[in-house]
Chains A and B, each alone.
Chain A
């Protein structure tokens, strides 16, 4: 065999390896492309024009909260857990923002940081209960979900409060898709995470807890860190939600617990832990928004919207599982 042939063969092997090891990511990106095309078609039929800058801006702004909390959920899912308290943390962050953030730079920066810290703290509580208390993640976070929701209602019993316009326009500019920068930042966070010691620990924990420990990895710390990161990201999502709504509501976050899981699943992450990509989750979050948009333009009765959303999800998951099984078999 000639040297070039050997190099060529190695290159194609690398490609098949990459594809096989990142089936979830590849499928999520493919799904995103499909969703954009479908959306464009639905839009064209309805408006005889293609979606433009306005649609891009509103899509990105509407998806940012889900991107953030989906990423938070992803950290926990990698450890083979689930964080049901995501919505509760968002509620509380949202309520705190509406009550406390005032029209000065100091207040905006100070309270944003404080709220992020509180989110991380709430995540830390989850993590401690799960990792040190050795309790089931679902049970713990189901309980803390209610607690955090309750705290949010105490902070802001009625929808109201206010968010300074400057604050809103920095986070969600209504005219330009500047929030794409934040999407990029989230992707970079994942990139760095995946290449950090913390990332190795959390992934190792999700692969096999016993083996991780035998490798000298502090699995307790890894689990606590994953929940803390989830709380932090959910608080950031709550801030975005407040900025989009320009006022606070202590219940707006509720639906995000489930949609964060949907984004993770559509993003090709394995719910059994240890496998998946955060970039896929970002794509998954956008697909989730696009499905809603497509349904909107297809004139589907809003009453049936969740029915169709569910249908999409099932089809996507089944197809994804089939394709990834096929690809893995071929790569062996």
Chain B
């Protein structure tokens, strides 16, 4: 390791620095001479719109990606971080935005990968591995995750927690967290912030990204704002409006739009005493023009409820009514036929076909309408897709680029746009603002209210209680698979939702 000649080194130097970093992907300049630095003992938030280059920076600092130009310095000395291993050797550990767990391996195997305890003949001692994993999880206050279970069977929140745990146990000097909270509920976020505060009190450096302003003000000491692949400045004190203006380059006045007026309309979707794995006796009525929120801690049956309404999860009892007549929804095809759309949380495995183009992914649900005699009419596909790209401000070099080249938040927008194109009457939104920047959140909120105004019905789950409180006509709070409380606007507050959710509830951490 060589010491940079003109830079300060030793205790006064920043713990980690990126200097004039650039990185292009094909024609897209993800980072354009961006500089960034963070100190020991601080929690440093990195904020910016979807596609601003946050993940690209983190990947370069974490050794996942090489920069085209620029350098990385640790404690003042230039380093060559050409692999995650190289970063690890310098005490730099990363939780990447797209999870890197191995789905068909157990939690224990994932937690201890490449550090497995060895027994006779240097073979991996699986029993000891499970025990060590047990101890690690229990030591960090995590219950409800069985180290012997497969990662594939965990919820997204649980997977995120495993991913965090395996980095935390390395006792990193510099910890990079790329949107670690996007799939976590309130309790889990508190748990993570506890860990972060502990690390910073031990003089470690923590860098994280988030699209939730409240989290940033809760835990960050300094904030660096990114736009278009460059940094706009680092702040210790900045209010949300100013930050949003800097991030987006425009004024976003009110984040949450007015709730549309609700008339005494007919029910569009009803569930009566719905039962299934994870769901017990759920009844709900969703009316035309209504936005019905569903809240509660992660893992309390929301996902199962949404998926069974869409025919993607089995039900064992109860009935579903659409337009006041009983229907059978045994698979997503039935649901789509009845005008139901679902935007799921896990874009990587449940929604997008990553290697296929943005255009194809957008129009997948409306292919029947677009095709004549089974042949897709390219022109129509393009026009419809282009329209949506503009409306949701999806940042893509073109419709022909594969979806996996987009930033995380832009992938989420593609998924949402697909179902908006499909013209469904009943829209189920499952945590759709996960990983989406403020400006786009605003767009999505606008879209939701305009859907309701058009007389469609929106059922939406969100891990963000603020969002539920501001947008919903009513909020159903789920606990252990049941509806535990119903709150009605006006006067719903995020605190009400959280307190209804945590009453006697069990969570993953605690």
C-alpha gap A274/B113 in the complex (Å)? 15
A208/B103 in contact, CB under 8 A: yes
Total A-B pairs, Cβ < 8 A? 68
Q: Max chain B CB contacts within 10 Å: which of A200, A210, A214, A329?
A: A214
Interface residues of B in 77-122 (CB under 8 A from A): 83-85, 88, 96, 99-106, 109, 113-114, 116, 121-122
Q: Let me know if B146 and A17 touch, CB within 8 A.
A: yes
**Are A195's CB and B126's CB within 8 A?**
yes
Q: CB-nearest residue of chain B relative to A204?
A: B102
B4 lies within 8 A of chain A by Cβ: no
Q: In whole Å, how far is B98's beta carbon from the nearest beta carbon of chain A?
A: 8
CB distance from A79 to the nearest CB of B (A): 13
Q: Does B153 contact A (CB under 8 A)?
A: yes
Whole-angstrom CA separation of A20 from B150 in the bound complex: 9
| A279 proximal to B (CB < 8 A) | no
Residue B100 contacts which of A13, A196, A215, A332 (CB distance < 8 angstroms)?
A215
Tell me the nearest residue of chain A to B130, going by C-beta.
A14
Taking a contact as CB atoms under 8 Å apart, the answer to whether B103 and A200 are in contact is no
* Residues of the A chain whose Cβ atoms lie less than 8 Å from the Cβ of B83: 216
Selected from B96, B104, B106, the residue in CB contact (under 8 A) with A275 is B104
Chain B, Cβ-Cβ closest to A275: B104
Q: Could you tell me how many residues of chain B have their Cβ less than 8 Å away from some Cβ of chain A?
A: 31
Q: A217 an interface residue at 8 Å Cβ cutoff?
A: yes
CA distance A179 to B150 in the complex (A): 36
A207 CB contacts on chain B under 8 angstroms? 102-105
Instruction: Say what secondary structure dominates the interface of chain A.
Output: helix
Q: Are B148 and A215 in contact (CB under 8 A)?
A: no
Which parts of A1-40 form the interface with B (CB within 8 Å)? 13-14, 17, 20-21
B73 located at the interface, meaning its Cβ lies under 8 Å from any Cβ of chain A in the complex: no
Instruction: Indicate if B484 sits at the interface (CB-CB under 8 A).
Output: no
Nearest CB in chain B to that of A18: its residue: B148
Do the beta carbons of A17 and B105 come within 8 Å of each other?
no
A212 to B84, CA, bound (A): 11
A196-B104 contact, Cβ under 8 Å, with A21-B150, A217-B114, A332-B153: no
With an 8 A cutoff between CB atoms, is A211 at the interface?
yes
Q: Is the CB of A214 within 8 A of B85?
A: no
How far, in whole Å, are A197 and B153 apart by their CA atoms in the complex?
24
B323 to chain A, nearest CB (A): 31
- By the criterion CB–CB under 8 Å, are A195 and B124 in contact? yes
Asked if residues B148 and A17 are in contact (CB atoms below 8 Å), the reply is yes
Q: A200-B113, A216-B88 are in contact. List 19 more A-B contacts (CB 8 A).
A: A17-B146, A21-B106, A195-B125, A196-B123, A196-B124, A200-B109, A203-B102, A203-B105, A204-B113, A208-B103, A211-B101, A214-B100, A215-B100, A215-B102, A215-B114, A216-B83, A216-B85, A274-B103, A274-B105
Report which A residues bind B (CB closer than 8 A): 13-14, 17, 20-21, 192, 195-197, 200, 203-204, 207-208, 210-212, 214-217, 274-275, 329, 331-332
**What are the 8 closest A-B residue pairs judged by CB atoms, nearest first?**
A207-B102, A214-B100, A195-B123, A195-B124, A211-B100, A216-B85, A274-B104, A275-B104
* Sample of 16 A–B contacts (CB below 8 Å): A13-B148, A17-B148, A21-B106, A21-B150, A192-B121, A192-B123, A195-B123, A195-B125, A195-B126, A196-B123, A200-B114, A203-B102, A203-B105, A207-B103, A215-B100, A215-B113
